[in-house]
Amino acid sequence: MTARRGKVHIRPIPLALLAAVLLTTGCQRPETLGREAQAPAPARIAALAPSAPAVRQEPVVVTLAPPVPSAALALDAAIDRLGRRFPGDVGLAVRDVQTGWTSHHRGLDYFPQQSVSKLWVSLTALDEVDSGRLDLSRALTVTAKDLTLFHQPIRALALRPGGFQTTGNDLMVRALTQSDNSANDRLLHQVGGPDAVRATLRGKAIAGIRFGPGEPRLQATIAGLDWQPDWAGGTGFYTARDALPAKTRRAAFDEYLADPIDGATPIAMVDTLARLRRGDLLSPASTAKMTAIMEETRTGALRLKAGLKPGWRLAHKTGTGQVYQGEQAGYNDVGILTSPEGRSYAVAVMIGRTGRPLAERMKLMQSVVAATIAYDAALAAQRAAAPHDPNGSDPAPDGGPVTVAQDALQHLAVRAAR
């Protein structure tokens, strides 16, 4: 019997399936694979699964201590708030001399210095002393031709027959503590004039601070006049100013405020004062001398000084500009605050144009001092709450780079969000 042969139909293998098989096996022979790989799929899965039974994992709860409030950012907010709320043209700045942290409101804008610029005449004089080019104990004479205008207590002495015999040291004390315009101008002449002061500022890399042409010419320019030497010691300036048309005076007044030739930025002011306090600008003896004289300042008793708490000291200089039609061109107080523990802060309150009552301006200055003192207390608390090294060393002594760097990052974030 003959067996019938049926047709055998071979279905073609799809290329995709063939490729998958090759990739899975790696083109290896079955006997070269492990038992698990040769086993059916369910068996392979069982072999790879962990033998231990699954255990339910409970969530781990980590409790963190609340963040320590940033004293620096609190000061930053307080200074900005004071500046924004004051109804006038104002710039504020506070610098922590120990850490370099600076809080400010319009800190890079220029504001009139007025008599604050007397600081730079004294700085130049003491720098000349340090270099051996000037002797402030040398006798000199102040006469009627040396007189200027406005506030000059030395005037009565200069008008005596033969003038007033004094020294550069005496002139410096009068200029800084009494804000005597004529004493300062005579000292300015002794150090070489405005160009000498500007050279000192440049030489010490003090940027953001301008020095004008001296008191008589500065005040005459603000009034719309050119200073005349024969006005010294008399009333010629006032007579000429009163005779000017209102339009001329207004134009000169506004031009000065728009771009003051004796202008300074609050940040430059506190930076320079901080450098003075650290002893970076003068010799130790001259630094101590200048700051000691500034602590004896008699002007502005109700400005920054009125905001002090017991035990705090202030070495400062005031500045007050002309008033025209109810507006004042500059009302300032800048200085160095020192805590009872010896920590120091440079402070600048510079009001450019304002017609607000004096009480409001003084209140602003006192509030800046209060904010600075509050910062000092908050910073002390922040340091006390910060973790310390187990060996007893503080990783950031005196609120050093670690604290400042962390606060600076937060500061930038806050600024960017505004």
Residue 13 pLDDT exceeds 80: no
* The pLDDT of residue 272 is above 60: yes
Three-class SS of the chain: CCCCCCCCCCCCCCHHHHHHHHHHHCCCCHHHCCHHHHCCHHHHHHHHCCCCCCCCCCCCCCCCCCCCCCHHHHHHHHHHHHHHHCCCCEEEEEEECCCCCEEEECCCCCEECHHHHHHHHHHHHHHHHHCCCCCCCCEEEECHHHCCCCCCCCHHHHCCCCCEEEEHHHHHHHHHHCCCHHHHHHHHHHHCCHHHHHHHHHHCCCCCECCCCCHHHHHHHHHCCCCCHHHCCCCHHHHHHHHCCHHHHHHHHHHHHHCCCCEECHHHHHHHHHHHHHCCCCCHHHHHHHHHHHCCCCCCCCCHHHHCCCCCEEEEEEEECCEECCEEEEEEEEEEEECCCCCEEEEEEEEEEECCCHHHHHHHHHHHHHHHHHHHHHHHHHHHHCCCCCCCCCCCCCCCHHHHHHHHHHHHHHHHHC
Share of the chain above pLDDT 90, in %: 73
pLDDT band at 418 (very low <50, low <70, confident <90, very high): very low
- For 78-134, how does the pLDDT look when each residue is reduced to its tens digit (9 = 90+)? 999 999 999 989 999 999 999 999 999 999 999 999 999 999 999 999 999 999 999
| pTM, to two decimals | 0.78
Question: pLDDT tens digit string along 150-165?
Answer: 999 999 999 999 999 9
What is the chain's mean pLDDT, rounded? 85
* Mean pLDDT of all residues in 289-299: 98
The predicted pLDDT at position 233 comes to 82
Is the pLDDT score of 370 beyond 50? yes
Mean pLDDT of 286-294: 98
pLDDT band at 52 (very low <50, low <70, confident <90, very high): low
User: Of 28-32, 65-69, 185-189, 402-406, which range is least confident?
Assistant: 402-406
pLDDT above 70 covers a percentage of the chain that reads: 76
Instruction: Calculate mean pLDDT across residues 352-358.
Output: 95
